[in-house]
Chain A
Amino acid sequence: MKALLIDFGSTYTKVSLFSLDPPGFIGASRAPTTVESGLEEGLEAALDSFSAEQLKGVVFKRACSSAAGGLRIVAVGLVPELTVKAAREAALGAGARILAAYAYTLNRDEIAEIEALQPDLLLLAGGTDGGDRKVILENAARISEAGLPVPVVVAGNKSASDDAVSILKGKVPRLVVTANVMPEVNRLQVEPCREAIRELYLSEITRAKGLDKVQQRVGLVMPTPLAVMKAGELCWKSLAEDVVIVDLGGATTDVHSYGDGSPRGGGRVVKGPPEPLIKRSVEGDLGMRVSLQSLLEVISPVELSKSLSFAVEPGELIAYAQKAAACRGFLPRGERERAFDGAIAAAAIREALRRHAGSLTETYTPEGRLWVQRGKDLTGTAVFIATGGALAYSEEPGSVIRAGLLVNDPLALTPRSPRLFLDRFYILAASGLIAESRPEAALVILKQSLLPLGGITD
């Protein structure tokens, strides 16, 4: 019995072949993604590198996709730090890309903006249960008046959801009501919303994106980031230790953290909005290829050059970034380019972790200094998993990852001394696709792929 798992990426379509009994990794291949032809051509090309013999006995096919922009969501809530933030967390946790997020009552310009963004889905939140109903109903009315051609998930004040449904019914292509993303101030409840988004993804969004043929053929079941998240969840639950995953892609860098992130040091007050147990963040300006130029705006070439063991002019790094961003499937050539690639990967990991993790700030009270923690404390992370093409094909993944974990800001609560692992076969997403239906097999295969790279100081 074998499983064929497909990840339609924005650049490559990656196919992994697993044996299910006994569980084991058989092989993987990839070919450029073909969005125009509904993804099938690229899939065929990737399948070509397997022999007929190898493909014999495939009983199970599943696919995930981040092609054609992935799952693109607009989130609407009431207060930025509360229900807007909760809606964002729910959408990110469903593997989505957030195109924009809006607070308070939408105005005409914002409605026009949403229309222009053409999201795959609009998530409408606002109000705690029994709390404010005015704003979510006003927003429902404006969405309905505009007749936005977008499926809507309503996940706000439960006491307003029936009225929101009456307002929106028949005015938007699909309407799903689910539990409030923030039933009480500062309490997140993102799971039901994540499920509702996933259901819509299956039933509506793949069709709207013209992916229904591929859907029927290989079972396109979730956005790729969600598959990665499921693989990480499996590791986390089986290890019973806190896990952090960094997925270094061409266009974005995703970070997933598993654990409550409660303070690891005494004398701290935790402030700010609550954080989900399973948290995902997406950095659209940090990527190894398409987003390389924006990365250089965040981390200057001068700063990057400091982490290289040889002298380099900023101009050379900029030229390299242009080259790497321009051609699809670019791979660094020679010692010098590989060093650039490594330094950039490390910088992206470091910056993405810094943004994902919580931070400490000191405040002075009449009593003296006090530490305030905002966000998750990840300093106690036990297991750090790195994935992504740039690392899987790197010659020295260990040193790149270690450089990415160097702490240059002691107040950023990033992982300090985890055990390091590389997803060497690049199959985190593939194993996430069978994590729910065949968790034991998924775990065995994950362990085959996760190459231990030792600790921080090794």
Chain B
Amino acid sequence: MLRNNKVVLGVIGADVHAVGNKILEMSLCEAGFEVINLGVMVSQEEFINAAVESAAGAIWVSSLYGHGEIDCRGLREKCREAGIGDILLYAGGNLVVGKRTFAEVENLYKEMGYDRVYPPGTLPEEAIAHLKEDLAI
């Protein structure tokens, strides 16, 4: 696949937490990425459609409201179906719910096909450095 510096960004599911999404958009833009920001309440299909049409190199999924596991599951499989199986998938926000440790949550998301998983309070810069590394730019 042709990797480019486009990132599809959005808050998945029925989640309306909009502030972090705006901050991520700004940080990514400043770092020279082209951001396709789908905003809040984004379905898996919308993420995939946008990535197919724009040939984006990565999808950044946020989930803040505690239902991330249900919302995020199956995205990798659907990407494969849509012909973009090797796209980078990052997840962040408040993914830890209940008594689990972050390491457990990280493993869970990696099994679900996410390339990188971030704990609450991650600074955008940290993930942006990873993205540059993963896209080799």
Contact = CB atoms under 8 A, between A and B. Distances in A.
Nearest to B5: A130
A363 B8 CA distance: 24
A131 B14 contact: no
A57 B47 CA distance: 61
B16 A370 contact: yes
Contacts of A444: none
B14 A83 contact: no
Nearest to A367: B16
Interface stretch (B51-59, B102-110, B112-120, B122-130): B51-59
Contacts of A271: 41
Interface stretch (A62-70, A74-82, A220-228, A401-409): A74-82
Interface string A192-235: 00000000000000000000000000000000000000000000
Contacts of B4: 130
Given A269-B40, A366-B65, A366-B67, A128 B54 contact: yes
A326 interface: no
A127 interface: yes
A131 B53 contact: yes
Interface in B25-49: 34, 36, 38, 40-41, 46, 49
A82 B53 contact: yes
A132 B41 contact: no
Nearest to B34: A130
Query: Interface majority SS on B: helix, strand, loop or mixed?
Result: loop
Task: Summarize A's interface: helix, strand, loop or mixed.
Answer: loop
A365 B63 CA distance: 13
Contact of B52 (A132, A269, A363, A370): A132
Nearest to A271: B41
B49 A81 contact: yes
A319 interface: no
Given A130-B34, A185-B36, A365-B14, A79 B53 contact: yes
Contacts of A128: 53-54
B54 A269 contact: no
Interface in A138-169: none
A185 B16 contact: no
Given A364-B14, A366-B14, A82 B50 contact: yes
Interface string B7-29: 01000001110000000000000
A133 interface: yes
Interface string A180-196: 00101110000000000
B79 to A, nearest CB: 13
A182 B52 CA distance: 13
A78 B65 contact: no
B6 interface: yes
A370 B65 CA distance: 15
A172 interface: no
A370 B13 CA distance: 13
A184 B54 CA distance: 8
B16 A78 contact: no
B66 interface: yes
Contacts of A269: 16, 40-41
Contacts of A365: 14-16, 65
B16 A130 contact: no
Given A132-B53, A185-B50, A185-B53, A370 B14 contact: yes
Contacts of A82: 49-50, 53
Interface in B75-118: none
Interface of B: 2, 4, 6, 8, 14-16, 34, 36, 38, 40-41, 46, 49-50, 52-56, 65-67
6 contacts: A82-B50, A126-B53, A131-B6, A131-B54, A132-B54, A185-B54
Given A131-B6, A363-B41, 14 more contacts: A78-B53, A81-B46, A127-B54, A131-B53, A131-B54, A131-B55, A132-B53, A132-B54, A184-B36, A184-B54, A365-B16, A366-B66, A367-B16, A370-B16
